[in-house]
């Protein structure tokens, strides 16, 4: 039996007369990588920001690590790590200075060198944030979510805009974070990413969850229903060609 670390029941969010989230219910299990997928405007960010205590809900019940969101938002904040928009970092500070700044805000002792090593940026400790490549900035922003040693980490489109090597590198990082015991919730528009990374996914559309299962089960169910791809799938795709030609190693170091 899996243990729910997040429990959402009948969650509703109205913006004026517009209902962005229409009474959704789902659990996220402890230790899983959970994906929230759906077209733009589906209500993903609204849902996540409510769970992150950053937005108010209209109605419904949310429990995080056994704590009621209405009663213990401050305690919940201490148990979660939220990836900030990378534009929020001071560009002229070094990575170590930025980590120390955040550690001060969280009032948490932290070893910047150890944290940077975890995200493969140890040799960039003294470099300024603005000197980082896109992949390095993303890895750094994930490092900042780990400062308060959270039980749950929220990642919003962590690999958007990255090249295939940097995306694979981030998948590895996210898998490592989970291996250390954290639960990860992420949004992505990349279906290959969801398939590779997520134990379970919820697909949202127009404020509702229209499917929730493991990627494997969803694909099997579709095939079972008689679905066939219009043409024979090749044994490789263009991304395989790209990685085969250019290699797996990171280029932004």
Q: 3-class SS at 78?
A: helix
Site string for ligand ADP, 22-61 (x = CB under 6 A): ----------------x-xxxxxxx---------------
Give dist(CA 9, CA 26) in Å, integer: 7
Residue among 8, 20, 119, 155 that touches ligand ADP (CB under 6 A): 20
Residue with Cβ nearer ligand ADP (41 or 92):
41
Query: How many CB atoms neighbour CB 222 within 10 A?
Result: 12
Give the torsion through C-alpha atoms of 194, 200, 203, 204, to 10 deg: -110
- Rounded to a whole number of angstroms, the minimum distance from the CB of residue 208 to ligand ADP is 12
- How many CA atoms lie within 13 Å of 73's alpha carbon, on the beta-carbon side? 11
Asked if 144 touches ligand ADP (CB under 6 A), the answer is no
Shortest CB 41 distance to ligand ADP, Å = 4
Measured from the CB atom, the residue of 10 and 237 that comes closer to ligand ADP is: 10
Among 9, 15, 161, 247, binds ligand ADP (CB under 6 A): 15
CA distance 188 to 202: 11
Closest CA to 187 of 42, 56, 69: 42
| Residues binding ligand ADP: number (CB under 6 A) | 10
Instruction: Give the whole-angstrom CA distance, residue 211 versus residue 218.
Output: 8
Which DSSP state fits 19? Answer: E
* Residue 127 or 211 with smaller CB distance to ligand ADP: 211
Least distance from ligand ADP to the Cβ atom of residue 46, Å: 3
Nearer to ligand ADP, 42 or 116 (CB): 42
> Looking at beta carbons only, is 35 or 38 nearer to ligand ADP?
38
Name the residue nearer to ligand ADP (CB basis): 45 or 183: 45
Q: How far apart are CA 68 and CA 51, in angstroms?
A: 10
User: What φ, ψ does residue 64 adopt, rounded to 5°?
Assistant: -125, 125
Among 135, 128, 45, residue whose Cα is nearest residue 89: 128
Cβ 206 to ligand ADP, closest distance in Å?
A: 9
- Phi and psi of 50, rounded to 5°? -65, -45
Residue 28: CB minimum distance to ligand ADP, A: 17
Nearer to ligand ADP by Cβ, of 51 and 132: the residue is 51
Annotate each residue in 161-200 with x if it binds ligand ADP (CB under 6 A) or - if it does not, as one string.
Answer: ----------------------------------------
Contact of 119 with 143, CB cutoff 8 Å: yes
Tell me which residues touch ligand ADP (CB under 6 A): 15, 20, 38, 40-46
């Amino acid at each position: 039996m899996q243990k729910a670390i997040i429990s959402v029941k009948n969650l509703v969010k109205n913006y004026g007369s517009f209902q962005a989230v229409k009474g959704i219910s789902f659990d996220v299990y402890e230790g899983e990588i959970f994906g929230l997928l759906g077209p733009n405007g589906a209500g993903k960010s609204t849902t996540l920001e409510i769970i992150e205590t950053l937005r108010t809900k209209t109605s419904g019940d949310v429990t995080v690590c056994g704590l009621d969101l209405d009663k213990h938002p401050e305690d919940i904040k201490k148990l979660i790590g939220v990836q900030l928009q990378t534009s929020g970092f001071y560009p002229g500070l070094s990575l170590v200075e930025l980590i120390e700044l955040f550690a001060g805000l969280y009032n948490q002792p932290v070893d910047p060198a150890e944290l940077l090593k975890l995200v493969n940026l140890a040799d960039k400790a003294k470099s300024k944030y603005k000197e980082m490549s896109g992949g390095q900035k993303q890895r750094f922003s994930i490092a900042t979510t780990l400062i308060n040693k959270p039980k749950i980490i929220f990642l919003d489109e962590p690999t958007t805009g990255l090249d295939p090597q940097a995306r694979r590198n981030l998948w590895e990082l996210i898998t490592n974070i989970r291996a250390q015991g954290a639960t990860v919730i992420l949004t992505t528009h990349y279906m290959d990413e969801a398939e590779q990374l997520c134990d379970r996914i919820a697909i949202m559309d127009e404020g509702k969850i229209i499917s929730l299962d493991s990627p494997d089960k969803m694909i099997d169910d579709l095939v079972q229903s008689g679905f066939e791809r219009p043409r024979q799938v090749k044994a490789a795709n263009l991304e395989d060609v790209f990685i085969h030609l250019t290699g797996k190693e990171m280029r932004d170091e």
